[in-house]
Amino acid sequence: MPLHLNVITPERTVMKDQPAELVVVPGQEGELGFEEGHSLLLASLRVGRIRIFPQGMDAGEEVILAIGGGFVEVSPRRVLVLAESAEKPDDIDTERARLALARAEKLLREKPEGLNLTRAQTALARARNRLQVAGQAHSDTA
């Protein structure tokens, strides 16, 4: 029996009951990987990517999602990701991500009065992650 992956954001369900052999998420202290039979776990997630190895795919094939942080709840047969944001590579608006990256870099360079440094650093990490995931998808198909 495979794991069943659900990825949910405040706006939508990105994946529902996706069968997977392995799911790897970006935990706060590093990557966390889950297979069927994993013990119960609840952990917070950082900005990064979820790597999904669907059941029946050839070795090395994976599905990638860019996420903007959140939480993961794991049980022996289910992985639930509650993400602030989650996007498949083809859904990422790279122009919007480039503009967000430029804005965040400018804010961090200029450090205007009243700047929320944590928020600016998170925006920078999200934009970089989105561009990396989108670029990875395009290089995979090239």
Domain count within the chain: 2
Same domain? For 12 and 77 the reply is yes
Same domain? For 46 and 103 the reply is no
Contact 51, 69 (CB under 8 A): no
Same domain? For 101 and 43 the reply is no
- For residue range 77-94, list pLDDT tens digits in order: 999 999 999 999 999 999
Single out the residue in 87, 115, 133 at which a domain terminates: 87
Residues ≥6 apart with Cβ < 8 Å to 60: none
Q: Please tell me the predicted confidence (pLDDT) of residue 59.
A: 56
Same domain? For 75 and 131 the reply is no
Sign of CA dihedral 118, 122, 123, 124: positive
For residue 11, the domain's CATH number is: 2.60.15.10
Same domain? For 11 and 63 the reply is yes
Angle separating helix axes 94-110 and 117-141, nearest 10 degrees:
150
Alpha-carbon distance of 51 to 25, in angstroms, equals 7
Q: Please tell me the predicted confidence (pLDDT) of residue 55.
A: 77
Contact 27, 45 (CB under 8 A): yes
Instruction: Please determine, for residue 141, whether its predicted confidence score (pLDDT) is greater than 80.
Output: no
Q: Please tell me the predicted confidence (pLDDT) of residue 140.
A: 41
- For residue range 22-75, list pLDDT tens digits in order: 999 999 999 999 999 999 999 999 999 999 998 776 656 789 999 999 999 999
Q: Residue 16 carries which side chain, given as an amino acid letter?
A: K
3-class secondary structure, 109:
helix
Q: Please tell me the predicted confidence (pLDDT) of residue 135.
A: 85
The alpha carbon of residue 69 and the mean position of all alpha carbons in its chain are separated, in whole angstroms, by 7
Alpha-carbon distance of 115 to 39, in angstroms, equals 41
Single out the residue in 42, 57, 87 at which a domain terminates: 87
Query: SS3 sequence, 121-137?
Result: HHHHHHHHHHHHHHHHH
pTM as predicted: 0.84
